[in-house]
Structure 1
Amino acid sequence: MYTCEDCSNYSFKSKCIKGNNSKIPLEARTKKFETSKRFNRQRKEDLERIITNEGILLRMNRSLQAEGSFAQVKHDMNFRRFMCCGQKNVLAESILLAMAYNANKLHNKIQYNRTGKHLFELKEAS
């Protein structure tokens, strides 16, 4: 938990401390925030996972593969715009689009006997 000791002379105090529902006047308030223990633990576990050799390899290859998916959806599947309106409908349509893309990708891997392999050969971390 972090608490500012004294921010009375801070010129941006009204922008820094948000929330008008407090019974304490703005002049008497100080900035407070905290992070959860669970969040910190998960963040540490994630960091340990991504700095391993396997994590580095997967991150390097992920950066090569991400853009191709959008290009294939736009060009090969001729997707230019969503057909429906509303956040829930767009989400449903994008999930269907992702499922169709993954099914097509799996079909091609099965056809060419490439299951269990990466799209590109994994590079070695330096």
Structure 2
Amino acid sequence: MKLVKLKNIKIIGRIDNMDYDEKNDYYICKNGKKLFDNKIINRKSKTGYKSKITCYICKECRDCQYKSSCIKGNNSKIPLENRTKNLQVSKLFHEKRKENLKRIISPEGCQLRMNRSIQAEGAFAQLKQNMKFRRFLSRGKENVLSECIIVAIAHNISRLHNKIIKNKRGVYLHHLKEVF
């Protein structure tokens, strides 16, 4: 079980810190109690995105010793003794999150992230230092856009020239160095 920390405090009420049983579709809290699905809510955001939220509830929170740190919201009208733990989970979101994490941690993902950080910073450094480009010389959106395009073309020609000289045409990514 992976615990999420916030300012050196383990937040036991978070979904990331609970075990999930996929077969029977329930979560297990720190006290060993089960949170079963109660209802499904269909939400639509302001942008029009539709999501399906599954609500989980624990019915055995009466005498739980972790209740004060598990249930959030101190300004509720219902006293803490009468409240139960509720979770709202978007299963699609968590599925996509796991897929993305797998992709990011993979060797190819690490190589792409490393190259992205190199390429983005290097382009600005080249423009500012080597090409002495500090500010736009024209005014107006169209003129600034055309000047920006000319600078980008000049930068790309410079990179192509360097690749031709170093005989590195067709090589697009730097390789990761193995660390033992």
Distance in 2 (CA, whole Å) between partners of 1:109 and 1:49 is 33
Q: Give the direction of change, closer, same or farther, for the CA distance of 1:118–1:35 in structure 2 (3 Å limit).
A: same
Residue 116 of structure 2 is aligned with which of 51, 62, 73?
Answer: 62
Cα deviations by residue, 1:45-65 (Å, 9 ceiling, x for unpaired): xx4895354233111221123
Q: TM-score, normalising length from structure 1?
A: 0.56
How do residues 17-56 of structure 1 correspond to structure 2 at under 5 angstroms?
33=46, 34-35=48-49, 47=100, 51=104, 52-56=106-110
Structure 2: tracts of 5 or more residues without a match = 1-41, 52-95
Partner Cα distance (1:50, 1:91) in 2: 35
Quick check: 1:61–1:122 contact (8 Å CA) kept in 2? no
What's 1:105 paired with?
159
* C-alpha distance in 2 between matches for 1:67 and 1:83: 23
The structure having more radius of gyration, on CA atoms, is 2
RMSD: 3.5
Whichever residue aligns with residue 97 of structure 1, its letter is: V
Q: Which amino acid aligns with 2:134?
A: R
CA distance in 2, matches of 1:83, 1:49: 46
Deviates more, 1:54-63 or 1:90-99: 54-63
Question: RCO (CA 8 Å, sep 6+): is it higher in 1 or 2?
Answer: 1
Q: Where in structure 1 are there 5+ consecutive unaligned residues?
A: 4-31, 38-43
Question: In proportion to residue count, which structure has more helix?
Answer: 1
